[in-house]
Amino acid sequence: MNYLIPFLILITIVVFIHEYGHYYFARKFGVGVTDFSIGFGKEIFGWNDKSGTRWKFCLIPLGGYVKFFGDRNVFSQAEQEEVIKKYSESDQKKLFILKPLYQRAIIVAAGPLANYLLAILIFTFIFMYNGKDITPSIITKVQERSPAYEAGLKANDKIYSINNKKIESIFEISTIIASSTKNTIEITVIRNSNKINFLVTPKTIKDKDALGNNVNKKIIGIQLSPANNEFEKRKLGITKSFIYSLKEIWFVSITSLKYLGSMIMGNADVSQLGGPIKIAKITGQVAEYGIIPFLNIMAYISVSLGLINLFPIPMLDGGHLMFYFFEKILGRPLTQKTQEFFFRIGLSVLIFLMFFVTFNDIKDLALF
């Protein structure tokens, strides 16, 4: 229960924001909304608002949806004429499929963009009221015969950048090294006021992360410590907080895309992929450290949800945007048969990923 409650709070907020993005622009463009659901399956409780939308919470809380008036499939474009004949002229004005292409695209894209907006607001709040760590990343020790030692790094080197990303906090080092998809890492240090570049090949070991979870960890053999064991943190103004929020979201998004590319090429460590069980476990562990760490992981989950939904996979928002792109090029929607073919492919991909991450979750719990 210590893990479940924080996870349910997090996933409910993130999913609600995502679906509200769809709902807000649907209502703005006059589309009828019959259902706003958090979760799937049997309804636990709900209510109807004055516009006729049923707001409800369902038994399986792993997602949600917004259902538009008259749609057998929320974003279906197939067989429009057959659908239109079933409705009066006034009801036709509420049909999603009759809205201009740009409005449909905005409604679909609004879900992922709402997730990005939530992350921006959270990161901005954290940087303004909790502050951003600015502790210099100075190497205090280099282990003998380690990758860093072999590359030529020395104690008292100040790490300036890793893979061309400027380092602004000592806490960024391990994250950037761990998320690197390259065999070698380019590290730029400041030594005697001069910038020097090194290529370091990290090695992977089995270790535990800060929360005690088993991970495959990339190391280069350096030790970092703040001067006098004191970390430096500075509260930022709203403009700088906003800028740093955008930088953080950009870093997370680009790193995720690079990892996906490496996974497709067969070079990534897929054992670290996790599903709902792993997310719930980490969420519960982080929540024990307070509201700021909890908000921090909520922002990262929100970015991930927004990014994944933009992938051009049918059944995801990105898949519908892909269909709209073809509609714009062809001057007409794809045929029902073509859409169904792509939907089958998308469903197969999603089912495979679901089973894969679930297997990793179970394996991580040491049940195998």
19 is catalytic: yes
Instruction: Give me the residue spans of the domains in the chain.
Output: 4-129+304-364, 132-234
> Packing angle between helix 317-330 and helix 101-129, nearest 10 degrees?
140
- 19, 172, 248, 340: which one is catalytic? 19
- The model's pTM: 0.85
- What backbone torsions phi and psi does residue 245 show, to the nearest 5 degrees? -65, -45
> Packing angle between helix 291-309 and helix 101-129, nearest 10 degrees?
160
Which positions ≥6 away from 242 have C-beta within 8 Å?
Answer: 120, 124
Indicate the burial class of 151 (C-beta count within 10 angstroms; 0-12, 13-18, 19 or more).
middle
CATH class of 132-234: mainly beta
Query: 46: which strand partners?
Result: 56
Q: What pLDDT is stored for residue 363 in this prediction?
A: 54
Instruction: Find how far residue 6's CA is from the centre of its chain.
Output: 18
Query: 224: which strand partners?
Result: 139
Q: What is the pLDDT along the chain (368 residues), one digit of tens a residue?
A: 567 888 888 999 999 999 999 999 999 999 999 999 999 889 999 999 998 899 999 998 888 999 988 765 434 444 566 667 777 778 888 888 888 999 999 999 999 999 999 999 999 999 999 998 888 888 889 999 899 999 999 998 999 998 888 888 888 888 888 878 788 899 999 999 899 999 999 888 776 666 566 667 788 888 887 766 677 888 999 999 999 999 999 988 988 888 777 777 766 666 656 666 666 777 777 778 789 989 989 999 999 999 989 988 888 899 889 989 988 898 887 777 787 788 788 777 777 776 666 665 555 554 43
Q: What pLDDT is stored for residue 213 in this prediction?
A: 64
- Cα separation, 136 vs 211, whole angstroms: 24
Q: Are strands 139-142 and 132-133 parallel, antiparallel or unpaired?
A: unpaired
Q: What pLDDT is stored for residue 228 in this prediction?
A: 66
Q: What pLDDT is stored for residue 54 in this prediction?
A: 94
Q: Own/partner pairs for 203-209, CB < 8 Å, 24+ apart?
A: 203/147, 204/269
Residue 70's CB is within 10 A of a number of other CB atoms, namely: 20
- Dihedral of the CA atoms 174, 176, 180, 183 (nearest 10)? -60
Q: What is the DSSP letter of 228?
A: G
Task: Provide the strand spans (E) within 76-191.
Answer: 132-133, 139-142, 158-162, 165-166, 185-191
Q: What pLDDT is stored for residue 36 in this prediction?
A: 95
